[in-house]
Structures are given as C-alpha cells and as structure tokens.
Structure 1
Amino acid sequence: MSILFKFLKPYRTAAILALVMMLIELAVELSQPYLISKIIDNGIRSHDLTVVWTWGGFLVLSAAVAFSAGILSSFFASHASQGFGFDMRDRLYEKVQSFTYAAFNRFAASTLITRLTGDVSQLQDAVFTGLRFMSRIPLVVLGSVVMGLVVQWRLGLVLTVTVPVMIVLLMLLMRRSSKMFRTVQNKLDSVNGVVQENLTGIRLIRVFVRMGYEVARFAEYSRDLMRSTISALRLTETAMPFVLLLMNGGILVLLWFGRIEISHGNATLGQTVAVINYTLRAVGGLSALSGIVAAFSRMRASALRVGEVLDAPGVEDTRRSGVTNLENGVNNASMANPPQRIKGAVSFEHVSFRYPDSGIAVLEDISFKAEPGEVVAIMGATGSGKTSLVSLIARLYEQTEGVVRVDGRDTRDLNLAGLRSAIGYVPQEVLLFSGTVQGNIAWGNEKAGLSEIEAAARAAQIHDTIMSLPDGYDALLGQRGVNLSGGQKQRLSIARALVRKPSILIMDDSTNALDAVTEAALLSELQKLSCTTFIITQKIASTAAADLILLLDEGRLLAAGTHEQLLAGSSLYRSICESQEGKENLHVQNRA
C-alpha cells in the first residue's frame, strides 16, 4: 500500500481537497434524516406549516450544498488519480528501460505490458474510488450508527449489533478475494502472451497451417482466465445476499421495537423514521462496500505486481552510465566530463560468462585482441556463444570472470552511454519501427542529416531500393517493417548502425538474407570504414578478408587467426571451408 502514498504525494493537495469536499457532502447527507424527523415531529404532527417550510428550506439548501461538494470532490479526485496514473506509468517505463538483459529474463513482455497498462489502470481507478467512495462508505456506515444512537439510542442499538458482524464478514472476504484476483491478473498475462506470440508469428502460423491449433490454445488460456474471474467474482458477489439478509432482518427488528417504543412513549414517529433512514443508509453503504472490497482486492493484487517491477533488482549502473538517474531525475552524463572518443581497440582477457541463475558456462576463458579498424569474424556452431561474446562488448551483460577492455580500459569503468554511443549494433533479429524509412535510419543518429542518411544507405546497399519506393526516404513502413523483404530489412538495419559513424561495429549474423553479390558489395564498403568491425557469420566469403577470425565451439575459443592461418592450423575450419567451397577451390586457394 505504500506505493499508493508514494505516487500520491505530489497530488496531496488535490487529494486532501477531495476528501474535505467528501466530508462536507457526507456531513450534510447525515444531517438530512435528522431534519426530516424535525419536520415530522414538530411540523406535520403538530400541523405547523411554518416549521415544515423552515426545516424544508434547510433540507433543500443542504441538498444543494451536498451536490456542490460532491461535484468538487469528483473533480479533485479525478485530478489526483489521473496524475497518479501518469507518474506511475512513467516511472514503470523508466524502470523497465533501465533493466539489464538479465532482469528482462524474469519478466515476460506480456506481463510487463499488462502491468504498465491494466494494473496501473486498476490502481488509478482505485485512487479515484478511494478518494471519492472507498473512504466515504465506511464513514457513511459509522456516521449512520452514531446518528442513530444520537436520535434514539434504544433503536440505534440495532445498528450497533448488525454492522460489526457485516464488517468482519467483508474483511474476511477481502483477504480471500485479493489472492484470487492476483491469480486472475496472472492468467491475463498468459492470455496476452498468447496473443502477442500469435500476432508476431502470424505468417509462420499460416504457412504451417496451425490456425486451428492456435485458436484452440488461445481458447484454453482464455477459458482459464474466465474460470478464475468467475471464481473471484462469485466469491465477492456472494457477500451481497448476506449483507441484505442481515440488514433487512435488522430493519424488521427495528420496526418491531420502534412500534413498541412509540406505544410506550419512549420514541416519536419522527425519531423512528430517522433511525430507519439511517439504517437504510447503512444498508446501502454496506451493499456498496462489497463492491468496494472487490475493487480493493484487485487494487491490492495490482499494487503487488507493480511493486515487483519497481523493486526488481538488475538495473544498469547509473553511476557510470551517463543515463538519467531514475531516482533523482539527474542526468549523470551532464555532471561529468564528456567521455573521450573511443578509438575501437577491443581485448578480452580470460573472459568467462554465465547467464544469471544458470550454472552452465556460455563462454570460458576467452582471450583475444583486436586493433582499431580491424575486421574480426566470429564463427561457430549454434549455441557456441557468438552473440554472448559481442554482447559483453556493449555491456548488455556483465562477464562472470576476466576483463573486457576497450582502448585499454575496463568497460566497467567506462561511461556506459559514451561506450554505447560509439557502437553500431545490427542484431540477429531485425527490428524496425513504424514510421518512415528516413526515420528508421535516423533512429541510429537523430542528428544525422539527409546526406548522411543517404551515405549510410548507399554503404548498406539499400539506397536504390529506397529510391524505388513511391515516396523514397519518406515512404512509410508498417509495424516491424512488414512491407519489406527480409534482405531489405537487414540492409535497413545495417544502415541504421552505419549512420552512427561508430568506432565499433557489431553485426550479429546480419547478412544471412543477402545474396552473394549484395553481400560482397556490402563487405567491400565495410572495409572502407575506419571502425573496428565484428561480424558473426557462417559464410567463408565473409571471413576470408578478415584480419582476425575467432572459431568458437561450446563457449571455448578453439582457434584464432587469419583465413590462411586457420586453413593451415585448424581441421574444423578446413572442414567448414570444404563444405562451402569444395576441395578443388580450397587447393586453388592454398596454391595461391
């Protein structure tokens, strides 16, 4: 619950005003049955119209005051709740952006989406309900009991007996339903995950004719969500009949004793009507309280889920990152001296790496050195650790042992923003954004002009393709670049990395969709760059001209050297060459 007060603090003035207006509205409403009793006893029964008009005027005036206070309370409650929701979503998004790759492994994308949208909306609604109704309902019940005792204490005792019983029942219900609604939110995560997978892989689903299977799978997850929701709602809704049964029984008892008290002269008709009115208000309050309990249970479950994200460990070290300090809103990069220009020398010194919560070594005792401007090709079977190796250069993960150096300095001592700004990264899985072609390339360098964007596109062998589009560089791309082919998307992703004019270029198997001619032209352009280039590839054509080839197998560096050196010293490399070029071409290369 502390999370609510933390994000409500900036809006405490609006929250306090909402509560004050609510209290004014409540006080006026609780006074109305008392005014009605005066009209009945002193006016109607005495046939005194002056009293009727006088107290009736007060009654109308009080209704106007209650109406105005209610409108103002809703206004201030809306302001506080909307600001609360905005700040919480903003803070959650910043926290997710600061996650290390290891932290992302603990939260699926679907659950993060649900927590940033559905759970925050639940809390936002709970804040409004709390300021407007949740705090009002208990006061209505308590105020009705107190006023019933004030008007006629003998009749008011009926309320003092029935109300506590109902409160205890509702508290027990809330504890149970909170756990059930948390299960509902987890089921919703699963449904969102299935939807996300299906929308992302719709082409594959259709090609393999798996539509029926995926529809059945979605129906199964959706059915689980339905059952969990029904169970939770059934539990909360069963409170209503119990509330009405006990409170209506209380009203019958009140009418019975009211008749006796009136006949004995201990109570007047107006007092009896007033106490019955207060009882009805208490009944209405407790009936509404069952709904409030359901909303509170959902809110509590959502607060726990949001808190898990906000309190999650695994945040990148902002002390050296140069990115915004999420706690204090301070940009560390602006406080320190600008990072030095990175030249591009990269060295690994006995580096080992294991993924968090895994005892399996992905990389073991890796050592090599690449000078600025060199081309390093990385080869190896699937799962040999190629992507993990280049991820350590950009500090997407932290090595378990050893030291990764850039320009002779431990990467952990470098300004993280400065390090990454010097790296051009082309991921294995191409990701483009909705928008124009120019905007997607400029995403790599927002300050790049059109001439720089065109130069990067020419180097990536995508310029002619772009110019053939109806709007050229202003052509709109669909989500994830669905209106481009695989090779076009790869080249656009390469252009996005090249426009950064990086000191270190990392290409993670990002030419596998290119034909031989296009790939050769691209590699020729890359050789003209002054950056240190790391190319993960399985093609000998991409490694032959490399200054250094790293051959990995199950996380170990089997061999390192040039193409000629590995041909002479590595049987595995020779077998790869034979499988791709044939023995005859291999002999020709050896004679040359």
Structure 2
Amino acid sequence: MKELKYLNHYFLKYKGRLILGVFITIIATVFKLVVPMKIGDSVTAIKQYMDGDITNLADVKHALLINVLLLLGAALLSGFFTFIMRQTFIVVSRYVEYDIKNKVFEHYERLSLGFYKQNRTGDLMNRISEDVSKVRMYVGPALMYSISTVTLFIVVITYMFYKDPILTLYAVAPFPILSFAIFKLSVMIHQKSTIVQQYLSKLTSFTQESFSGISVIKAYGIEPRINNDFEQLAEGSKEKNIDLAKVQALFGPLMMLLIGVSNILVVYIGGTRYINGQIAEIGTLVEFLMYVNMLTWPVAVVGFVASMVQQAEASQKRINEFLHTEPAIQNEKDEHTPINGTIEFHKLTFTYPDTGITALKDVSFSVTQGETLAIVGNTGSGKSTILELIGRLYDVADGMLTIDGTNIKQLNLQDLRNSIGYVPQDAFLFSDTLRNNIKFGKEDASEEEVIQAAKNAVVHKNIIEFNKGYDTVLGERGITLSGGQKQRLSIARAIIKDPKILLFDDCLSAVDTETEEQILHNLQKITKNKTTIIVSHRISSVKNATKIIVLEEGRIIQRGTHNQLVASEGYYKELYAKQLMEKEM
C-alpha cells in the first residue's frame, strides 16, 4: 500500500469527520451485539420453562416481551447509526475525490508542452476519472467496511471469549486460513487490476482520437478498419477484465466455505459441551451461531475490501506517476517582472527534447517595443519554434533569449505569459458561446470591448448573422465555423487582451485577400505601441512589417525590409514574384 501513502494528508485534513465516523461505527456495532444476546436469553427462558425451572408462564411472556422491545430498539438504533456512519465516510470520500481531481487537473496545467506530446489524451482523461474513482472507493467504502469489520470483530470476539473461550477458539479456527488466502488473492488482484486500467486507458485514447478524427475516417471510408481495431482492443480489455473477475469470484465461495466450517464446529463442539454440562445455557449456542453468521458479512467484506484496496493501489500508482512528474518549465522568479516587449535572440540554437530535431541554428535578431517583425520560410524552417520560445513553452539550452534585456528564465512566468497575445496556426475554440470564446483573452471584458475586438478581427458581421449572435454555442445543432472564421475569432481573443506582445502564427492562411487587408489595416492601429511578430507564407501579410527575416532549415538566410528584400536575389524575391503571378492569374 506504499502508493496509497499519498492519501494520508487527506485523512489528516478530514480527521474530525473520520474520528466521528469511527465513534459512530462503535456505537452501531454495540447495538448489533444486543440482538443475539436477547435472542439467546429468550431461547434460554423458553428452555427453562419447558424444563420446569420456571413455572410461571406470565413471567416468561413478560421476559419475552421485554426482549422483543429491546431487540426492536437495538435494531432501530443500529440501523440509524449505520446510516449516519455511511453518510460520514462516503461524504469524506467524495470530498477527497474532489480534492484529488482538482490536484491532478491543476498539475496537468503546470506540466510543459512536451509532456502532452509524449502522453495520449485518453490516458490523461482516464487517470483523472477512472483512476480517481477507484481511489475514492478505497477512501470511502473500503475504509468504512474495514473500520466496521475490525470493530465488529473486536466486540464480538471479546464477548464470545467472555462467554466461552474454548468454543470461541473453535469458531475462529478457519480465519487464519482465510487470511492467508486473502493475501494470495490480493496480490493477484493487484497485478490484474493494473493491466485492466492500462487497457481502459488504451480504449479511452483510441475512442477519443477516433471521435476527434471522425471526418478523416469518413472521408477515407475506413470505418471497417477502425471498427476492427477497436474490436481487437475491446477483446483484449474484455479478456483482462474476465481474468480479474475470475480471481475476484474466488472470494465469495471461499468465505462461505470457511464460515460454514465455523458453523459446523459451533454446532458440534457447542452441542457436545452443552450435553457434558460445560455450557450452562442453551441460549449460548444460539448466540454463538448468530455471532458466527454475523461475522459472515465482515469476513466476506475482507475480500471485497482487499479487491478495492488493490485496485486503488494500482490506480494511485498511475496517478502518482504524473503527480511526481516535474514540469520542464519552472517559474524561477516569484517577484513580479513588468514586461515592455523588447525581444532579442542571441546565437540561439534549439533542439526539441522529445524528438531530437534541431529547429533553430545560431539564430540572432532583435525587435523592440512598437516594431513588427515578420518571419517567412518554408514549412519546417523553425518559424513557429521562435514563437514557442518567446512564450517559454520550451527552455533555451544553447544561446540566449532576452526580453527587455533580461534572460527569459529570470522573468516571472505568469507575468510573461499574461503579457503575450498568441494566435496559433490551428485555431482552437472551446465548446462555449462565441462571446465567451472572445472573452477567453480577457475574462472581465465589457460587451463593447467584445464587439470592438470582433470588428477589428473582421468577424463581427459573421457573428450577428447567427440566430443567437454572440450567444451562439459552438457546435450547437450543427452550427460550426469555417476555418477563416475560427482564425478571426482567435485574433479577436488575442487583441482583446491588449497585451504588450502579439504573436501571429500564420493565422490568416484561411482568410481571403480582401478580408486579410482589412484585418492588417486594423492591426496596424492596434499594434502601434506593441511588439508584434507575424509568421506567414503570404508576402501580403508581412510586407508592411518593420523587419523581415527569412528562415531556411533553422537558419536566417535573409533579413531586411520588404523593399530591400524584393530588390535582392533570394528566397523572398522568388516567393514575391510567384505570389504576384498567382494573384494576376
């Protein structure tokens, strides 16, 4: 259970409720003890009347009535306190589940971009949902049943020893065998539970990717192949779950067998001792039979609890693997560091840690506040990498990247990212209203600011054409946006933030030329006092930039203004001539 030690601080956090739960459990157990005692007393009273030891029938009836009333009261009180016990422990388990899910999600947000490239989304989702649910079962039902079982064993066995030590030893004789069997089965359950959770993660990942790429699957007509792949995964998952179920199924019969042996021993040994006069009252035998059968559920629960603990151990181990993963990007500055926006790359070489691909080689340039830098180059030349490094999605190992003359690692990470408005090439929008998607850049933005940002991004007219306008929920009743509309919404999201640094990663590729001109015209006014970097394949998007650099295989091969680059031979002039010809055609 070493992995489950992580949960100890949650037990301390809710120790007040847990201690109350233990106290209530003891009270409920004591009331349960009354039932066999009073039934035993009633049987003894009837036997004494039958034997003539008690001659007054009225006294027997009175004693039986008192016993029935005590039985009824004890049963009601035991049921009431059992209900309170369940409420206490189960509520605590829900609190712990809430805390763990928040902790895991918060940690996910702290982890670096490289982590998400190395791990599948389905597996991440499974650990925060299925695995946390397994852990909750340990914190709630498993803990509750364990405390209830231990309490019942202590109270019942103590009373049984008080009544007849020898008969008690015979009654509990099968329990050591049961304990050893449980230990062996628990080890097997732990191993098989780990495999089951791994298969569940694979299934979740596969289905999530299939749903995300359903348009590609349909376009290529590969539904049968995908179905076949899913069936193979599901078959493997089914087999592993059946293997686990077979082991878990051994618990019940084993419990009943050993409890049955205890009953036989009580009847035979107890009956012999009663005949020999070693047990004074016949009611004692009835009590022992009821106590042994009372222990049937707790003993059966031992197997159930062992199964839950082993599954929780396997799940918590998977959760801990991620919780113990340290973010590659660490905030090394706690104090606030204001950002103005002067950016400088000095002989910077960068290799992606997850792929080993060198994206930038000895790159040097600078852009000051108020300037616009444009980056042009072929696919894979390193353009987007520059933007990722400015946002400190990766750390620089060779060379230096400074902002306002300070090494980017020495800036407060939150301040840095709050000062950046980033528009990625592949616009991602949330399943929310169009308004909230724009306000994602500025949560407290007014309605006027939202509309103005949409107008600057030339998407306002498209939005008001929808029936619900800005209240339209993306994806609702099939309403979706075109690629150009998504890009313009992303631009609106960035500019409403009013950041010091604006980064545009080929975000006008799906926009027509006329709309592009309108957006660029609006951006010229918006970016007047901001540092702006535009990555694009279109000369029309970059021609008005203060500076332009051309990348090829991670190196800067040209730099200058539009007029300077057009006047000199090279990649930029060739690209300009090609696009000019395409426009004329």
TM-score by length of 2: 0.90
Deviations 1:493-539 (A, max 9, x none): 11111112222111112111111222222223223322222122222
Matched, 1:367 2:364: yes
Q: 1:292 aligns with which of 305, 325, 331?
A: 305
Partner SS, residue 173 of structure 2: helix
Partner SS, residue 499 of structure 2: coil
Q: 1:111 aligns with which of 89, 102, 123?
A: 123
Alignment partner, residue 558 of structure 1: 557
The change in CA–CA distance for 1:482 and 1:345 in structure 2 (over 3 A counts) is farther
Query: Which deviates further from its counterpart, 525-534 or 506-515?
Result: 525-534
Alignment partner, residue 328 of structure 1: none
Partner SS, residue 435 of structure 1: coil
- 1:166 CA drift (Å): 0.4
Deviations 1:215-270 (A, max 9, x none): 22222222222222111121111222222223323322332223322222222422
Which structure 1 segments of 5+ residues have no match? 321-331, 586-592
Partner SS, residue 14 of structure 2: helix
Alignment partner, residue 425 of structure 2: 428
The change in CA–CA distance for 1:495 and 1:308 in structure 2 (over 3 A counts) is same
Matched, 1:235 2:247: yes
Preserved CA contact (<8 Å) 1:151 1:274: no
- 1:53 CA drift (Å): 3.6
Partner SS, residue 366 of structure 2: strand
The change in CA–CA distance for 1:409 and 1:121 in structure 2 (over 3 A counts) is same
CA–CA separation in structure 1 for the residues paired with 2:239 and 2:79 = 41
CA–CA separation in structure 2 for the residues paired with 1:397 and 1:247 = 62
- 1:576 CA drift (Å): 3.6
CA–CA separation in structure 2 for the residues paired with 1:373 and 1:481 = 42
The change in CA–CA distance for 1:437 and 1:358 in structure 2 (over 3 A counts) is closer
Query: Which deviates further from its counterpart, 512-521 or 260-269?
Result: 260-269
Partner SS, residue 85 of structure 1: helix
Q: 2:149 aligns with which of 137, 148, 164?
A: 137
Deviations 1:108-167 (A, max 9, x none): 322222222222222223322134313222443454444433322222222332001101
Deviations 1:22-41 (A, max 9, x none): 11112222343233323322
Alignment partner, residue 246 of structure 1: 258
CA–CA separation in structure 2 for the residues paired with 1:382 and 1:351 = 20
Matched, 1:356 2:373: no
Deviations 1:72-131 (A, max 9, x none): 212222331222222222222222222222333454322222222222222223322134
Partner SS, residue 433 of structure 1: coil
Partner SS, residue 432 of structure 1: coil
Matched, 1:304 2:317: yes
Alignment partner, residue 224 of structure 2: 212
- 1:581 CA drift (Å): 3.8
CA–CA separation in structure 1 for the residues paired with 2:541 and 2:107 = 39
Partner SS, residue 560 of structure 1: strand
Alignment partner, residue 329 of structure 1: none
Which structure 2 segments of 5+ residues have no match? 55-59
Matched, 1:28 2:36: no
Q: 2:44 aligns with which of 35, 41, 53?
A: 41
CA–CA separation in structure 2 for the residues paired with 1:519 and 1:560 = 24
Preserved CA contact (<8 Å) 2:25 2:151: no
In structure 1, give the amino acid aligned to 2:324.
Answer: D
The change in CA–CA distance for 1:58 and 1:455 in structure 2 (over 3 A counts) is closer
Matched, 1:313 2:326: yes
- 1:435 CA drift (Å): 2.7
CA–CA separation in structure 2 for the residues paired with 1:2 and 1:413 = 36
Mapping of residues 111-260 of structure 1, within 5 Å: 111-141=123-153, 143-260=155-272
- 1:288 CA drift (Å): 2.6
Alignment partner, residue 57 of structure 2: none
In structure 1, give the amino acid aligned to 2:210.
Answer: N
- 1:488 CA drift (Å): 0.7
CA–CA separation in structure 1 for the residues paired with 2:439 and 2:551 = 34
In structure 1, give the amino acid aligned to 2:285.
Answer: T
CA–CA separation in structure 1 for the residues paired with 2:425 and 2:477 = 14
Alignment partner, residue 327 of structure 1: none
- 1:481 CA drift (Å): 9.5
Matched, 1:275 2:288: yes
- 1:426 CA drift (Å): 0.5
Deviations 1:541-592 (A, max 9, x none): 323333322322333333333334445666344444454445999xxxxxxx
Query: Which deviates further from its counterpart, 554-563 or 397-406?
Result: 554-563
In structure 2, give the amino acid aligned to 1:74.
Answer: R
Partner SS, residue 546 of structure 1: coil
Alignment partner, residue 441 of structure 1: 438
Query: Which deviates further from its counterpart, 107-116 or 557-566?
Result: 557-566
CA–CA separation in structure 2 for the residues paired with 1:86 and 1:570 = 63
Matched, 1:415 2:412: yes
In structure 2, give the amino acid aligned to 1:272.
Answer: L
- 1:472 CA drift (Å): 2.9
Matched, 1:450 2:452: no
The change in CA–CA distance for 1:27 and 1:319 in structure 2 (over 3 A counts) is farther
Preserved CA contact (<8 Å) 2:332 2:409: no
Alignment partner, residue 393 of structure 1: 390
CA–CA separation in structure 1 for the residues paired with 2:120 and 2:569 = 41
Alignment partner, residue 498 of structure 2: 501
In structure 1, give the amino acid aligned to 2:511.
Answer: L
Query: Which deviates further from its counterpart, 142-151 or 374-383?
Result: 142-151
Root-mean-square deviation (Å): 2.6
CA–CA separation in structure 1 for the residues paired with 2:77 and 2:328 = 52
TM-score by length of 1: 0.89
Preserved CA contact (<8 Å) 1:457 1:495: yes
Alignment partner, residue 16 of structure 1: 19
Partner SS, residue 400 of structure 2: strand
Q: 1:404 aligns with which of 397, 401, 406?
A: 401
Preserved CA contact (<8 Å) 2:342 2:404: yes
The change in CA–CA distance for 1:542 and 1:191 in structure 2 (over 3 A counts) is same
The change in CA–CA distance for 1:72 and 1:583 in structure 2 (over 3 A counts) is closer
CA–CA separation in structure 1 for the residues paired with 2:354 and 2:463 = 45
- 1:442 CA drift (Å): 1.7
Matched, 1:522 2:525: no
Query: Which deviates further from its counterpart, 390-399 or 299-308?
Result: 299-308
The change in CA–CA distance for 1:482 and 1:216 in structure 2 (over 3 A counts) is farther
Preserved CA contact (<8 Å) 1:89 1:120: yes
Alignment partner, residue 470 of structure 2: 473
Partner SS, residue 327 of structure 2: coil
- 1:393 CA drift (Å): 0.6
Partner SS, residue 417 of structure 1: helix
Query: Which deviates further from its counterpart, 184-193 or 134-143?
Result: 134-143
Alignment partner, residue 571 of structure 1: 570
In structure 1, give the amino acid aligned to 2:149.
Answer: I
Partner SS, residue 484 of structure 1: coil
CA–CA separation in structure 2 for the residues paired with 1:315 and 1:349 = 22
Preserved CA contact (<8 Å) 1:18 1:131: no
Deviations 1:328-349 (A, max 9, x none): xxxx6xxx56x43x33221111
